[in-house]
Amino acid sequence: MLRSILERFKPGKGAVISVPYLWLLVFFLVPFLIVLKISFADQDLAIPPFTHLLKYDGDMSTLNIALNLSNFLFIFTNELYLDTYVSSLEVALFTTLACLLIGYPIAYAIARANPAIRNVLLMLVMLPFWTSFLLRVYAWMGLLQPNGIINNLLMSMGLISQPLEMFHNQFSLYLVMVYAYLPFMILPLYAHLVKMDVTLLEAANDLGARPFKTFWTITLPLSKNGIIAGSMMVFIPAVGEFVIPELVGGPDVLMIGKVLWNEFFDNNNWPMASAVATIMVLFLIVPIALFHRYETRQLEGKNV
């Protein structure tokens, strides 16, 4: 009889779950399987521009499966693709580290501030995040160009005689990447730090730890979940970033997001774009799992 009670709740529960579940299956998971499928196809002059994996030959009554591995072989044998993957991971890694180094002190300072002004400070961090990402990237174009605002200013002050080269190179790429992704680092860190029990720090001080030691042995380890969540929130999208390398990165900047975009939009090579995406997902599965784990922990308020 007990089982019948439990089951009475199920149909309603199942219906509730199924609405978002089905949506995500159809619009998020299934698309990945299609990408995987098409990465094994060949480019074709047709609409859509790729070959089918399954072909039924009526005359011979055979079903032919054509798995085209050339896209993957090409990626793994072509140094340019491999270099691009490595350089994308590198750019994402250094961007993440820079965001952490800049974002942690800011998040820490806001968390330590008087609650009365904390809201205002947090709002100031959020405000750029609420305005357009694209326009924020665009703003740096005006600042960094050879005849841009910074160079004009420095030259008119007589500090430099020739414009500094800070546009369309590694410098501008990193600068704008850090700028654009900084709020994504600050917010999870702040959310974590602000909940931290201040008596823990006082206890450490009371037991003889100096401020830096307290920070290093108490604050930092306790904000681990926030650090990991924030870092993944920067790292994962940064690997596949397209807009920033396209607008402020130079010709020497290799980013896989840009390669994927070009394969798709410029070369119309959908199977190649799919293969590039498939390999990128493989690289990102572990970071995404990490992000998922720590974000969940943070939400549930667990510290360790």
Q: How far is the CB of 87 from other proteins (least distance, A)?
A: 15
Q: What is the C-alpha to C-alpha distance for residues 264 and 272, in angstroms, rounded to an integer?
A: 8
Residue 104 to residues 61, 190, 222, Cα–Cα distance (Å): 65, 8, 13
Residue 223 to residues 74, 204, 218, Cα–Cα distance (Å): 43, 16, 9
Comparison of 11 and 61: residue with beta carbon closer to other proteins: 11
For 61, the 3-state DSSP assignment is coil
Q: What is the C-alpha to C-alpha distance for residues 295 and 249, in angstroms, rounded to an integer?
A: 31
Q: How far is the CB of 56 from other proteins (least distance, A)?
A: 15
Q: How far is the CB of 288 from other proteins (least distance, A)?
A: 6
- Cβ distance 115 to 158 under 8 Å? no
Comparison of 83 and 291: residue with beta carbon closer to other proteins: 291
Q: How far is the CB of 289 from other proteins (least distance, A)?
A: 8
Comparison of 70 and 296: residue with beta carbon closer to other proteins: 296
Q: How far is the CB of 69 from other proteins (least distance, A)?
A: 19
- Cβ distance 255 to 249 under 8 Å? yes
For 182, the 3-state DSSP assignment is helix
Q: How many CB atoms lie within 10 A of CB 13?
A: 9
Comparison of 65 and 116: residue with beta carbon closer to other proteins: 116
Comparison of 4 and 77: residue with beta carbon closer to other proteins: 4
Comparison of 61 and 147: residue with beta carbon closer to other proteins: 147
User: Any residues with CB less than 8 A from the CB of 176 and at least 6 apart, and which?
Assistant: 137, 140, 244, 247, 248
Q: How far is the CB of 13 from other proteins (least distance, A)?
A: 7
Helical H runs in 131-269? 133-144, 149-156, 170-194, 198-206, 211-214, 220-222, 224-239, 243-247, 256-261
Q: How far is the CB of 193 from other proteins (least distance, A)?
A: 6
Q: How far is the CB of 77 from other proteins (least distance, A)?
A: 23
User: Any residues with CB less than 8 A from the CB of 2 and at least 6 apart, and which?
Assistant: none
Query: Which tokens go with 215?
Result: 């920070």
Comparison of 240 and 253: residue with beta carbon closer to other proteins: 240
- Cβ distance 78 to 217 under 8 Å? no
What phi and psi values does residue 63 have, to the nearest 5 degrees?
-105, 115
Comparison of 59 and 212: residue with beta carbon closer to other proteins: 212
